[in-house]
Amino acid sequence: MDALSSKPLLFTTRLILRSPNERDIAAIIKIAGDWEVARRLAGVPHPYDEADAEFFLDTIVTASMVWMITERSSEKVVGVVGLTLQEPASKVVLFGYYVARDHWGRGIATEAGSVVLAYGIGLVGETALASSFFVDNPASGRVLEKLGFVRSGAFEQYCLATDELKPSVKMLLVGGLSSSGVSRQTFVAGQ
């Protein structure tokens, strides 16, 4: 999926989504290093240190479409959002995000997710878009439902931070973004 190697700037009313870089290491550590954030994510260790942030930038960011979520007014980093090709043969692209705890409940994940999904659908076409959440994080399930994802099954997913298998819910984006009311006009790329 060569389309995933190039990332434009994406804009919403309140946010700018841009490529992560080394200047973001402190913000990534602060957000991902928060236990309340890390325990809600499958692949984030805890504690989270500079080596973890460098691994994220050098390995995850280079293999996926990942954006830093920044406030448009201040350019403050408030989260991360992205799309990752699960396996080339599977034709499944995974959607994921995390937001700084002091920005929870403000619609940041939904706003950033809508622009990334609108952009991603244009790139991947009929490829399936999927996500998941831990059962003990129902707020993430609500965000995914607002974005048009529907529940497709239950499973156990390993959480690196807690070092345990946790009950989880698989989600699929059905019917594209039209089911969530989000359109491609939600964002302006490259401005």
Phi/psi at 28 (5° precision): -60, -45
Q: What is the pLDDT of residues 150-179, one digit of tens each?
A: 999 999 999 999 999 999 999 999 665 544
Q: Which CATH architecture has domain 2-185?
A: 3-Layer(aba) Sandwich (3.40)
Q: What is the pLDDT of residues 54-97, one digit of tens each?
A: 999 999 999 899 999 999 999 999 999 999 987 776 778 999 99
For tokens 């460098």, name the residue. 54
pTM to 2 decimals? 0.89
